[in-house]
Structure 1
Amino acid sequence: MKPRSKKPWRFSHFQRRVLKAVIHLIATGYLVALFYLGVNDQLGPDPVDALLNETGIWAIHLLFVTLLLSPLAKRLPSPEPIKFRRMLGIYVFVYAIAHFFTYAFFELQLDWHLLTSELVKRPYIVVGMVALILLMALTVTSLSVLRRKMGKQWQRLHYSIYAILPLALLHFSWSQKTFWQAPIFYWLIGLIIMRGRITRTAAKTVKRLKAYQ
């Protein structure tokens, strides 16, 4: 993908802070509003199901945006989108943990024995848990001090975001009991976003295979 401009553009410090404040306000405000409406039984006939759907779907939406930032930075070209990646990545985790909290607290009533049986009966929950654990690892290690201490291991760990997307989409599709309707559109969007990464990985694999021949 060729950049549209040779000269990188940048936000001013003030513009960057304002944009981050707006993102914080929207992301946090929407989540707070969701739970407020849910607790007050204003999310339709099944508030718990509505909370599960909204928190899960928006975790995926934010994951899409987070993964688009690197290609966007190359396309512009500008380092500015990268400066929002950590913040948006953390919000992916916040919405994902809110999704799990809704399921554990409202659906299961914190009955951990029931959770164990659900994990056996519903494998898509296991897939979602794996994605959540990976997101937690990325969020915890997003701290600058841990990034410096981990060195190259940090980059390797954060490559797992490319595994989180298919896991999240699989969890979503499996929970909907179909890969058609809404899930197929999410998979198509995911493939478009991952196209560059898939192409580079395939090229490297072919190169390594040729080297062994």
Structure 2
Amino acid sequence: MSSSETPTVTEPASRRPPPAAKRPAAAGTRWVVPVKIAVFVAAWYPLARIVLFGLTDRLGANPIEFITRSTGLWTLVFLCITLAVTPLRRLTGVTALARFRRMLGLYAFFYATLHFTTYLWFDKWFDVAAILKDIGKRPFIMVGFAAFVLLIALAATSPRAMVRKLGRRWQTLHRAIYAIGVLAILHFWWMKSGKHDLLLPKIYGAIMLALLGWRLLVWLRERVALGVAKR
């Protein structure tokens, strides 16, 4: 090597600045981590509210019913929010919103588990005969149970390792969330119809219809575009 040449030193990868093309993308998603933390914490509010009400004796005359209804409603809320992620991502162009979908879906499963456990344990004390008798009088319970079973399947296959293992089958399986949404609304509507109190079921039914209807319109538009492209 001549004296005019300066030896170059390869900087360790951990200390190299990111390529210029990648810097804007990284900077544009810095908000994701703090917002995910905020959403994670906020999602514990329904449970914290139940605990607080229990400690301050504000669960009403029938605490078990209050907890069952509250956890069931919040399951539906998180299902709607989870289903809203994709339309919001497509309409706003903020692709980072997709990073919230898994966490929100798991919270829907979490509150569904609390809902089911409260009914099975604290309401019926695992009394199979009492449960079967209750289903005979209130068949909407089986509809809710079917939705819960599907949620178990989605929660069990939500880890990234399962995504890689299942491949394309993972996406097919997770389309079951649409059926879960429909079953959850039917369960809620059927349960409330016995008391002629359909205001909330109508509101959430309209939200679910809009979320699923949007997906149907997108699917139909893509099929039409594909058909035109093949001509």
TM-score, normalised relative to structure 1:
0.84
Q: Identify the residue that residue 198 of structure 1 maps to in structure 2.
A: 216
Contact kept? 1:27, 1:91, Cα under 8 Å: yes
Counterpart of 1:106, as a letter, is F
**Aligned match of 2:159:** 143
- Contact conserved, 2:46 with 2:74, CA < 8 A, in 1? no
Is 1:95 the counterpart of 2:111? The answer is: yes
Q: Which residue of 2 aligns with 1:185?
A: 203
| Residue 6 (structure 2) aligns with | none
How big is the shift at 1:114?
1.5
Aligned residue in 2 for 1:10 = 28
AA paired with 2:170? W
Identity of matched residues, %: 34
Q: 1:104 to 1:36 in 2, by over 3 A?
A: farther
Q: Select the residue among 48, 58, 62 that pairs with 1:46.
A: 62
Alignment RMSD: 2.4
What is the deviation of 1:93? 0.4
Runs of 4+ off more than 3 Å: 7-10, 38-41, 200-207
Range with bigger deviation, 21-30 or 126-135: 21-30
CA distance in 1, matches of 2:104, 2:162: 19
In 2, the alpha carbon distance for the partners of 1:206 and 1:180 equals 37
Report whether the alignment pairs 1:28 with 2:48: no
Aligned residues: 199
CA deviation vs aligned residue, 1:12-58 (integer Å, no higher than 9, x gap): 0xx32221221221212431331453376421222222111211111
Q: Which runs of 5+ in 2 are unaligned?
A: 1-23, 226-231
* Partner-residue secondary structure (3-state), 1:142: coil
Which residue, out of 161, 172, 177, partners 2:188? Answer: 172
* Contact 1:38 1:51 survives alignment (8 Å): no
Structure of greater Rg: 2
Inter-CA distance 17–202: structure 2 relative to 1 (3 Å threshold): closer
Using the TM superposition, name which of 154-163 and 36-45 deviates more: 36-45
- Structure 1 unaligned regions, length at least 5: 1-6, 208-213
Would you say the 8 A contact 2:144–2:184 is kept in 1? yes
2:78 to 62, 82, 86: 62
Q: How far is the alpha carbon of 1:102 from its aligned partner?
A: 1.2
Equivalent position to 1:82, from 98, 104, 108: 98
CA apart distance, 1:176:
0.8
CA distance in 2, matches of 1:36, 1:106: 18
Q: Which one has the bigger helix percentage?
A: 1
Considering Cα pairs closer than 8 Å and 6+ residues apart, tell me whether 1 or 2 has the greater RCO: 1
